[in-house]
Chains A and B, each alone.
Chain A
Amino acid sequence: MGKKTLMTGNEAIAEAAVQAGCRHFFGYPITPQSEIPEYLSKRFPEVGGCFLQAESEIASIYMVFGAAGAGARVMTSSSSPGISLMQEGISYISAAELPCVIVNVMRGGPGLGGIQPSQSDYFQATKGGGHGDYHVLVLAPSTVQEAADLMMEAFDLADKYRNPVMILGDGFLGQMIEPVEFKHMSSTDRPARDWTITGAKGRAQNVVKSLYLKPDVLEQHNLGLHRKYQKMIKNERRVEAYLTEDAQIIIVAFGMAARIAKTAIKILREKDIKAGLVRPITLFPFPYQTLERVAEKVDNLLVVEMNLGQMIEDVKLGVCGKAEVHFYGRVGGMVPNYDEIVADVEKIVKESR
């Protein structure tokens, strides 16, 4: 699909998976992401894919476990409450080192919450919502095009690190329609996978597991996972720095909040307030160094999130006290308006003079 077409974020994510060679989807209906399974239930038969709606998100994530263990390029998608149900499975998948892609189209929480967009699952995604020392590589798109691009790359990253990769979008991104094209051709030659479950033909048995009853053995296993995460931190950090060079104040935001912040920055600059944006694209590994650098040039940063302050903790870790870190957030499905951000920045700039 070289040419641009108009698609919702959900549909673009689903089509990107197909373009990336994903042929197995296991999931469960939940607003605001149901268009992903709906799309694939129509599209997969055209490409010999296996679409299966499971009895729950719990069963879905373990079907992903089984398919990934069998060597398939596999994904699931859900939204916040469903992703909570998948946390144990994601911990098992991380421990067994199985490549897969998990899409979270976030909605307001906690509990049943609402169905409007939010970013309240930042901690769950980046600090590990399940048990044990593990990390999921988390990518946060802010446009439908970027969602498609990152989705295709996610499968390669999952293979590269034999690890689950999460696309962290939100209901806004999932439902909005934008032009999109599918350009990134992911590498079809996937890394050697002699560890997969294919039937012990001409080889000893393969075992996909996460049980290590001997503590010294489990410690070595954990240290192995840790080395992998260090490699992710070294090689996979992605961040967009927008108009930060001459900025007197930096807004830090990801996903949908970052897009709104860009509009605010345009307006602020028209009012001679030079604002810039740091937009983390990988939420794990988090771009601490970028924040450390910008914190040396400005006195104030404003973190804008669609939650009550989660990424701000990582921002503060990066800034390390070198500048003032402020927060502006809307939550529960309320989406910040750009003029609210403009007003907040003006207040900060005025007070700090």
Chain B
Amino acid sequence: MKKVFERPKSMYPVSTHYCPGCGHGIVHRLIAETIDELGILERTVGVAPVGCSVLLYNYLNCDMYEAAHGRAPAIATGCKRVHPELVVFTYQGDGDLASIGTAEIIHAAARGEKITTIFINNAIYGMTGGQMAPTTLIGQKTTTSPFGRTSKDTGYPLRVSEILATIDGAAYVERVAVNDPKNVMRAKKAIKKAFKTQMKDLGFSLVEVLSQCPTPWRMSPRDAIKWVEEKMMPYYPLGEFKSPKREG
């Protein structure tokens, strides 16, 4: 009997603070596996801003920054401009990236900043207890849209991947999900492709991950992964919105 699946080396052997069934844990593993497989632990730097994943430095053992809410792309830019040889990624939630940090992410893409962003879209603010986010769906109940979000008052959810794909500096943009093994494997490919895009200096790369968030959604983990498929995917279609050109 050979071990065919084990914890990646770039991941500390600890339990996480995330809720049972939360997508973060899966994405953390995919990043750690990518770092292991590309052999870049010693030159990878992560930037995790405020949000459920602010404690990313407790789970991944590469160099890390903890960033202010919404500002991870700016910190990543500062780091990358000092150490262009490092592989720098930000790990941001939707409240962070699509709300307070909109300017930073759009301008990082516009600059073609050679960083990678892993963008977790769970259509809600998780850490603060389930408030409405810019990605909250119409009709979705949250602690600040208790009767269901209405477009009359709060407009429409933001499709970040499609927006960023229109920016020339963005070399690679894909939306994936982690609600079933098939999608998790596709997400892994996308994350690896994003890191490689950066390593080939092709420009900015972003992977948006639709992620189940059982507690604030007030669902069981099983219902949550169904909700991702039945409710989120119709509004946030999966797919590659920007493909990196062959370099050179």
Contacts and interface: CB of A to CB of B under 8 A. Distances in A.
B63 A200 contact: yes
B79 A206 contact: no
A59 B107 contact: yes
Nearest to B57: A207
B43 A62 contact: no
Nearest to A68: B78
Interface residues of A, number: 39
A205 B42 contact: no
B42 A70 contact: no
A58 B73 CA distance: 12
Contacts of B64: 197, 205-209
Contacts of B103: 55-56, 58-59
Nearest to B78: A66
B209 interface: no
Given A59-B71, A74-B78, A211 B63 contact: no
A50 interface: yes
Interface string B53-94: 011010001111111100100111111111100100000000
A63 B45 contact: no
A74 B43 CA distance: 21
A66 B75 contact: yes
A74 to B, nearest CB: 7
A70 B78 contact: yes
Interface string A22-48: 001010000000000000000000000
A92 B72 CA distance: 13
B118 to A, nearest CB: 17
Contacts of B145: none
Contact of B78 (A62, A198, A200, A210): A62
B44 interface: yes
Contact of B71 (A62, A70, A199, A211): A62
Nearest to B73: A59
A65 B75 contact: yes
Contact of A205 (B61, B67, B68): B61
B78 A26 contact: yes
Interface string A184-201: 000000000000011111
A66 B65 CA distance: 8
Interface size class for chain B? 20 to 34
Nearest to A52: B81
Contacts of B67: 62, 65
Contacts of A92: 68
B78 A63 contact: yes
A200 B61 contact: yes
Given A205-B64, A206-B63, A63 B107 contact: no
B79 A66 contact: yes
Given A58-B71, A59-B103, A66-B76, A24 B81 contact: yes
B104 interface: yes
A205 B62 contact: yes
B63 A205 contact: yes
Contacts of A200: 41-42, 61-63
A64 interface: yes
A64 B79 CA distance: 9
A149 B113 CA distance: 35
Interface of B: 41-45, 47, 54-55, 57, 61-68, 71, 74-83, 86, 103-104, 106-107
22 contacts: A50-B81, A58-B71, A59-B103, A62-B68, A62-B71, A62-B74, A63-B74, A63-B77, A65-B65, A65-B78, A66-B65, A66-B80, A69-B75, A70-B82, A70-B83, A92-B68, A199-B83, A199-B86, A205-B57, A207-B63, A209-B64, A211-B54
